[in-house]
Amino acid sequence: MSSTSELLNSIQASKNGLTLAELLTAHPGIARRTAQRLIAKLIDSRQVKAEGEGRARRYFRADTQSGSGVPATIVDRFPPFIPLSADSQDILAYIDQPLEARKPVGYQRDLLDAYRPNETWYLSEPLRRQLHRMGRTADAREPAGTYSRAILNRLLIDLSWASSHLEGNTYSRLDTRELIEHGKAARGKAAIETQMILNHKTAIELLVENIDGAELNRYTLMNLHSALAENLLPNPADEGRIRQHAVDISKSVYRPLSTPQQIDDALEVLLGKANQIADPFEQSFFMMVHLPYLQPFADINKRTSRLAANLPLFRANLCPLTFLDVPEQAYSRATLGVYEMTRVELLRDLYVWAYERSTQEYLAIKQDLAEPDPLRLAWRDFIKQTIREVIRHPELDSFSCIQRAVAERIPEGEQAAVQALIVEELRRLHEGVLARYGLRPSEYTTWKAAHRH
């Protein structure tokens, strides 16, 4: 049996698809580069399809073969429950053609250059009004980030799970909750999937906790990508830096820019325009369109754009865009419409539908949300700083350190309550929340070993 047949048989026999790592384990006699080349040929011949990105990409048996005339299964169709405009239907008709029927295209800088902040609108005025009505919260007049901090625990689970799910991650929502709240990785899941969820959590915390100073600038974007990419890229040097090499987009005839200087120049213009946009939804959607289209990073561009798209909403105390229930086949087609046609209508229709789903979920849970503890909110920076100092000095008595810090900084009438909050946070500390305190796992492990008694 040929190597191609061996790989194809394994993929066809798996209901849940297989990653490259799983295929290599099953076929140790096939070299990694050979397997990648053979799988690419199977995809081109439409015998296999791929979902997800990077090491989380899974390979599935294709439901149609090129030229067979057999219609795609229900799973492969754009979901009929998402309402589409006539323009979006046109985009879909083109994108659903076989690859060989679509014209290869490169990056069209005109799409970015033609955009005039607050003059050009991807989202019409009636659409923006509709989105504002849907996303309005009681915290609209409060300081930036008040609402996102109030719902942070729920947001971490929903956005981490839904965004990872769009990349082929097989964690369930319940698995994600266990990992984020209790640091328990799901059994039988690849380490890469656990890492992807935890990276989302860290990146969301990075945005929410730094909302006062976070803007759509290079610093925010690079650190957001770095958090999402940690331990997931073949070359760790690619974390949080401009792409240094050409990339291909799977299942697409689009070829992004390959010269780092060109990418860098376009990114500067992109961020400059994004920061001038006054409306938070237009700003959010602009990032959803232009960041994946430019592909400034070696990988993890769409994930970065989904979180960057939430920053304007966090700042305006609007409901977040969590991507709950967004089907991967809808999202990938909408993105291809931008890549191959420089048209945003299909992505726009999906954005509006997805945002409505998100707000319905959050409006339903608003009554159940515990009010944020005003004392914890008022002293959150002090609490985190104290936890960090305690962990970084394992040779000292933790309780004495807390007592001393509280006595020095906190008004007498609030000392007992703040001290109790810090002790409780220290008791609940685990590896899944260390980024919140700026701590490394090694620091936590050393402290825990010193205080086992």
Task: Enumerate the known binding-site residues.
Answer: 299-306
**Count of alpha carbons within 13 angstroms of residue 128, beta-carbon side:** 16
- Assign 256 to helix, strand or coil: coil
Q: Which residues have a Cβ under 8 Å from the Cβ of 190 and sit 6 or more positions away? A: 19, 21, 22, 56
| Tokens linked to 177 | 């909750």
Closest to 78 in 3D by CA, of 324, 334, 353, 254: 334
Q: Are 317 and 147 in contact (CB under 8 A)?
A: yes
> Residue 271 and residue 221: Cα distance in Å, rounded?
9
How many CB atoms within 10 Å of residue 23? 21
Measured distance CA(218)–CA(103) in Å, rounded: 33
Strand partners, 422: none
210 close to 221: Cβ distance less than 8 angstroms? no
| Binding-site entries for ATP | 299-306
Place of tokens 């001038």: 276
Quote the CA–CA distance of 202 and 436 in Å, as a whole number: 7
**HSE-CB of 213 using CA atoms within 13 angstroms:** 6
Percentages of the chain per state (helix, strand, coil), in multiples of 5:
60, 5, 35
The one-letter code for the residue type at 26 is A
Residues 6+ apart with CB under 8 A from 360: none
Greatest alpha-carbon span in the chain: 78
Give the C-alpha distances (Å, rounded to integers) separating 63 from 71, 261, 268, 313.
Answer: 9, 41, 42, 39
Of 54, 68, 99, give the one whose Cα is nearest residue 233.
54
